[in-house]
Structure 1
Amino acid sequence: MRLRALLAAAVLTTALAPAAWAAPGVAHGSDVPPGQFGFVAKLAMTKIPRPDGSTYSSYCTGSLIAPGWVLTTGHCFHDANRNRVSGKVPYPTTVTLGLVDEATESGIARRVTEVLQAKENDVALARLDTPVTAVPPLNIGRAAPKVGQQLTLAGWGSTTGTNPTPASRMQQGTVAVAKVETTTVGVRGAAPEITTSACTYDSGAPYFTGGELVAVEATGPDCPHAGIETASRADVLAAWVAKSTA
């Protein structure tokens, strides 16, 4: 989901009607070259419930962190009242991996069967119906982020905050760590522009460096923007991820 319409009450707008926790794609980013970042997952959800009984569809981004598991933002899985949920996947969710361009590549598709929500921050693990062995997972970093550190952001979110739609070509950008909190990290765009930022449908997108996941996209200002984007630290979740996916 695009990196956002600022989650005021934890609500990000989606492309289809009252947002489903939509977070941004990478606005003011650049195309990911073929064969890169196969671990970045595009999550497509359907039949997401609303309080009035109607449903809608939406998207998120995530990363393969074990053959049978994808890590993403926790609010991508919620009930009709937007409460995060664990257990059986709450609505049909398909994960696609191993591609950068949907127009020319088919990728690897899996269904999500179960969701585990983290207690420390807005992060969830999604269990896949069949393990993915053709794509190397992204390792969970165990070192705390440092101010000034540069990270790569890659996602399937919208490239614009106006009439957002999920990207059909994966986008990337470079951000710099601006502040470090107990369970979260704040980042700002660095390249290709200072306004490079997550956007709608980028919720759950990975911030990584050297083959290690450093943070997971959570929420931020409307995109594109030059402000601080909030992401969930991966290092504080390393033990939980290892135990849950063992």
Structure 2
Amino acid sequence: MRLRAALSAAFLAAGAALAVAAPASAVANGNDVAPGEYPFAAKLSMPVIPRADGTTYSSGCSGSLIAPQWIITAGHCFHDVNRKPVSGPVPYGTSVLLGATTDEPGKGERRQVTEVQQAGTNDVALAKLDQPVTDITPLTVSPAAPATGQQVTLAGWGSLTEVSPKPSNKLQQGAMQVVGSDATTVSVVGIAPKKDTSACSYDSGAPYFVAEGNTGRLVSVESTGPNCPHSTPETTARVDILANWIATHTA
């Protein structure tokens, strides 16, 4: 699930109820992540999400490990039946896959989300896991504001296309560049492997990070953008402005 571009950054920053549209996909026109790389990248699966009319649907998001028992992702990934982001006990069953580049039995570490905390200032949430993950080094939260021209890596489990989108079974990556920022968001565009490498459905919450071995520094998380693939700016949520809030919850 991913917010559509029509929702402005000002609307997000105001902490208003977020209207969520159709899910966003994995990294379009990206590359497969090699086995063993980016073990902190998380795939979130929500098989039974309730609607206000009593029906249900399935969806998913991406995210990253930032503490042994905490995942960071997009705030709009967790909401009530009216699509309003919620904090507290997880509103529907959510499983998490870490430490794998393919989603198949016997691969990676699997956990369940028990609790959600919404940042409120932008489209970011923390999801607590039922058990700590002790064999994967979490991403660190960048303390500095992103700089225009900075290059970052996107790693997500989203769809490869907006045509009948579905979460990917392979972790995908792309090289991106910061082209601007404001008080709560960062705008990025694709630079490799193609100019229209971009986030897609189910990439919501995916990390944009500066890689450092098998870990790195988290700069922002995926929030919203045009249908993929596209070469225009994608809106992502800054994490440096949340460093103290994140540390308080994950300590």
**Alignment TM-score, normalising by the size of structure 2:** 0.91
- For 2:242, the equivalent position in structure 1 comes to 237
Task: Evaluate the alpha carbon distance shift between residue 7 and residue 26 of structure 1 in structure 2; reply closer, same or farther with a 3 A threshold.
Answer: farther
Shift of 1:24: 2.5
CA separation in 2, counterparts of 1:10 and 1:213? 26
- For 1:18, the equivalent position in structure 2 comes to none
C-alpha contact 1:214 1:233 (8 A) present in aligned 2: yes
- For 1:83, the equivalent position in structure 2 comes to 84
Shift of 1:184: 0.5
Task: Evaluate the alpha carbon distance shift between residue 4 and residue 86 of structure 1 in structure 2; reply closer, same or farther with a 3 A threshold.
Answer: closer
Write the deviation string for residues 82-101 of structure 1: whole angstroms up to 9, x where unpaired. Answer: 00000000000000100001
C-alpha contact 1:72 1:204 (8 A) present in aligned 2: yes
Shift of 1:103: 4.2
Q: Secondary structure at the match of 1:236?
A: helix
What stretches of structure 2 of length at least 5 have no aligned partner?
8-17
- For 2:21, the equivalent position in structure 1 comes to 12
- For 1:202, the equivalent position in structure 2 comes to 203
Q: Secondary structure at the match of 1:243?
A: helix
CA separation in 1, counterparts of 2:26 and 2:3? 8
C-alpha contact 1:5 1:200 (8 A) present in aligned 2: no
Task: Evaluate the alpha carbon distance shift between residue 84 and residue 232 of structure 1 in structure 2; reply closer, same or farther with a 3 A threshold.
Answer: same
Q: Aligned partner of 1:226: which letter? A: S
- For 1:174, the equivalent position in structure 2 comes to 175
The alignment of Structure 1 onto Structure 2 pairs a total of residues equal to 237
Task: Evaluate the alpha carbon distance shift between residue 38 and residue 7 of structure 1 in structure 2; reply closer, same or farther with a 3 A threshold.
Answer: farther
CA separation in 1, counterparts of 2:78 and 2:238? 19
Matches within 5 A, 1:6-85: 6=5, 8=7, 10-13=19-22, 22-85=23-86
Q: Identity percentage over the alignment?
A: 56
C-alpha contact 2:162 2:228 (8 A) present in aligned 1: yes
Q: Aligned partner of 2:250: which letter? A: T
- For 1:213, the equivalent position in structure 2 comes to 218
Q: Aligned partner of 2:204: which letter? A: S
Shift of 1:160: 0.7
Q: Aligned partner of 2:21: which letter? A: L
Taking only aligned residues, the RMSD between alpha carbons, in angstroms, comes to 1.4
Structure 1 stretches of at least 4 aligned residues deviating more than 6 Å after TM superposition: none
- For 1:118, the equivalent position in structure 2 comes to 119
C-alpha contact 1:12 1:200 (8 A) present in aligned 2: no
Structure 1 window deviating more from structure 2 (188-197 vs 99-108): it is 99-108
What stretches of structure 1 of length at least 5 have no aligned partner?
14-21
CA separation in 1, counterparts of 2:54 and 2:203? 26
C-alpha contact 1:61 1:156 (8 A) present in aligned 2: yes
